[in-house]
Structure 1
């Protein structure tokens, strides 16, 4: 990476730290390389198997908000890509699993200008991101059996919607319809169905010497909330859309909607929940709720969700990063906690780092073993927790929360500390 790329990476990392910082290095367990990896080849990796009883289908939709100008591209209507993940009747075979990323998106994500790649430090061109396969069958018919609760997923700042696929697939395999949202021109890249690739504007913006980082972040968060509310509107009208997989429109129960997001997506989940009563329950995966700015008290700007609190259930899930963990350590989390009347809890995944709630927890150790990522950077991104334990804990607590508040099934995992997950510290 050249000096310009390193400068962009440094500024971007400083900005993303506002919404969930990468912590200090620690020891990490060795990870076996994928079978067949050879010197000189691009690193390859796979996603962990979903744990639920249902096979998964997926479909992608291109949406246009004709009533809203794109905040990053004046004069253009706001366009988004979303994916729906849902139970189906027949599992995908090895030859028909949906790709993790399109070839164009994977090449950009893995190249020197890929914002997502800069965030996670892999060597440009070292990894075959588009060669990764999901466990879902593209455009498979939805499993009959009535309407299912819906969960929205929003990724971190600069990350594409694909970067949470392991968690999303697991929820879908348990019977949820999950909708993932790309936040166009902020995400590292968005591949539209017509072949267009919309790259992030953030690297160019963040290179400006007098840039107000807090203002940029607040603009991004406002766009994300607007995106999410628009997606909810569009989901209500899916029945009139042609070309959808059989049975999918009728499978969505929009009276039972939850939302989960990582980092900036965690902010998006809770702020949208504050602004829109259609979201009944939300999870924030290591996303801070405060911003820098001269217009805030003592240089800290709190969004309305933190100042007003929430009257519906929410879960905060922190990491072992230096400024994460206990809600009392973050002004936004603390304000939200004090002002909320709905059920809430705070969990900390000990030994983890900011990337542990993303696909980075499973994918980065694999590519590091093949030389695509340094050991120090791997430790900074996902800590020293064993990947399998981090994945299992994250999936179990997220599913337990949504099962309780969207389905009325309480396994009591969220009642307090659990001997099943000693690595998860609980603050009720």
Structure 2
């Protein structure tokens, strides 16, 4: 579940093949009442020394902020790059090292609201916040479409690159920080568990820091010019995939501002204490099952969840179903090979993306807006692919 050299390599290799075929444009979400704008920023935590920085500099993270805009307040849309240029070239070079022809890597693009009315910026700080943490070694960019879809339902979604953990973190000025060498993780227990627990704690602090920054009016004004105040950070959701899912549950134990968390297919690491907030474990059903019967850390987590809790399983899925990859497969028209099925499962990519984002949105609606959904009461005729434990 945490193999950096396994799952990360497969994702990179797949994306290289996918992108070398032709460009992809991700359309604007059609699920919500809003269109979506986005902005990115490097945030520096002056209170922390980065434990992975050889120069002992202050901890910094890159974040993408996706925010809803009423359709009538979006003056124009445009296509923006899915990933910045150095990251795209990095993926291209990585692919070349593994026998894929080197060349210009076409950019995936996203449809986004690029110009808004002044009223849109005045309204933006009224929306509730969800923090999102990616898988171990993964870039936040591989969850852009998922974040955009959630934002379209009326949420501020802040995705985080955990520096030195992510494969590469590219900054607005064109500089970048590469991830730790994969050998850092290729060690035996108990040192591996110690390193992962340290990383988990660092990631939780990253999430807490980003949330605090969104409560700083001057930071928000620089992120979204035209805003007049900070976001309300007293209540937020924490969502994540894989190790990011473990981060979300760990954050519930450490910060009362996080009032609900969802772990998508991630083994839980670190010390698990009682949780008195809504929590969702969203894993895989048959044939490649990952749930509390196959992962003891999930059962331990469920035993410590003292408030609302649910365990879901998605049939015919794989670990990387829980991100943008299935949607990109669908949009690309790429031939579904055995390697791709191993990566994302056998469920249609568009369908699996729809299901995952629907349930993630329903959970966030419950946590932050108090809207109960029958989707969590039992199996649904609309989504028979989901098993509710």
> TM-score normalized by structure 2?
0.86
In the aligned structure 2, how far is the partner of 1:16 from the partner of 1:321? 23
Paired residue for 2:341? 379
**Equivalent in 205, 209, 222 of residue 201 of structure 2:** 222
Shift in CA distance, 338/241, structure 1 to aligned 2, threshold 3 Å? closer
In the aligned structure 1, how far is the partner of 2:246 from the partner of 2:382? 28
Secondary structure of 1:233's counterpart equals helix
In the aligned structure 1, how far is the partner of 2:185 from the partner of 2:305? 34
**Equivalent in 247, 260, 267 of residue 288 of structure 1:** 267
Paired residue for 1:346? 311
In the aligned structure 2, how far is the partner of 1:395 from the partner of 1:272? 21
**Equivalent in 72, 95, 102 of residue 52 of structure 2:** 72
Paired residue for 2:14? none
In the aligned structure 2, how far is the partner of 1:418 from the partner of 1:217? 37
In the aligned structure 2, how far is the partner of 1:240 from the partner of 1:149? 17
1:413 aligns with 2:378: no
Deviation per CA, 1:308-353: give whole Å up to 9, x if none: 2311001110024877433232111101111221100011010000
In the aligned structure 2, how far is the partner of 1:331 from the partner of 1:209? 19
In the aligned structure 2, how far is the partner of 1:208 from the partner of 1:345? 34
Paired residue for 2:243? 264
**Equivalent in 32, 35, 39 of residue 59 of structure 1:** 39
Deviation per CA, 1:256-286: give whole Å up to 9, x if none: 3101101011011110111111100111110
C-alpha displacement of 1:127: 8.2
Paired residue for 1:329? 294
Paired residue for 1:304? 271
Shift in CA distance, 11/334, structure 1 to aligned 2, threshold 3 Å? closer
Secondary structure of 1:362's counterpart equals helix
C-alpha displacement of 1:122: 10
C-alpha displacement of 1:246: 3.6
1:391 aligns with 2:353: yes
In the aligned structure 2, how far is the partner of 1:123 from the partner of 1:398? 35
C-alpha displacement of 1:211: 9.9
Paired residue for 2:4? 12
In the aligned structure 2, how far is the partner of 1:187 from the partner of 1:15? 13
Secondary structure of 1:87's counterpart equals strand
**C-alpha contact (below 8 Å) 2:95/2:102 kept by paired residues:** no
Shift in CA distance, 54/311, structure 1 to aligned 2, threshold 3 Å? same
Secondary structure of 2:223's counterpart equals coil
**C-alpha contact (below 8 Å) 2:314/2:386 kept by paired residues:** yes
Secondary structure of 1:71's counterpart equals coil
C-alpha displacement of 1:249: 6.3
Comparing 52-61 with 132-141, greater Cα deviation is found at: 132-141
In the aligned structure 1, how far is the partner of 2:241 from the partner of 2:93? 23
Shift in CA distance, 138/82, structure 1 to aligned 2, threshold 3 Å? farther
Paired residue for 1:106? 88
In the aligned structure 1, how far is the partner of 2:4 from the partner of 2:253? 28
**C-alpha contact (below 8 Å) 2:284/2:315 kept by paired residues:** yes
**C-alpha contact (below 8 Å) 2:35/2:74 kept by paired residues:** yes
Paired residue for 1:29? none
1:357 aligns with 2:298: no
1:162-241 to 2 correspondence within 5 Å? 162-206=141-185, 212-239=191-218
Root-mean-square deviation (CA, aligned residues, Å) is: 3.3
In the aligned structure 1, how far is the partner of 2:293 from the partner of 2:99? 33
Which ranges in structure 1 are unaligned for 5 or more consecutive residues? Answer: 1-9, 23-32, 291-302
In the aligned structure 2, how far is the partner of 1:263 from the partner of 1:192? 24
Paired residue for 2:365? 403
C-alpha displacement of 1:123: 4.5
Shift in CA distance, 91/169, structure 1 to aligned 2, threshold 3 Å? farther
C-alpha displacement of 1:213: 3.0
Aligned length in residues: 375
> TM-score normalized by structure 1?
0.78
**C-alpha contact (below 8 Å) 2:212/2:233 kept by paired residues:** no
In the aligned structure 2, how far is the partner of 1:217 from the partner of 1:139? 42
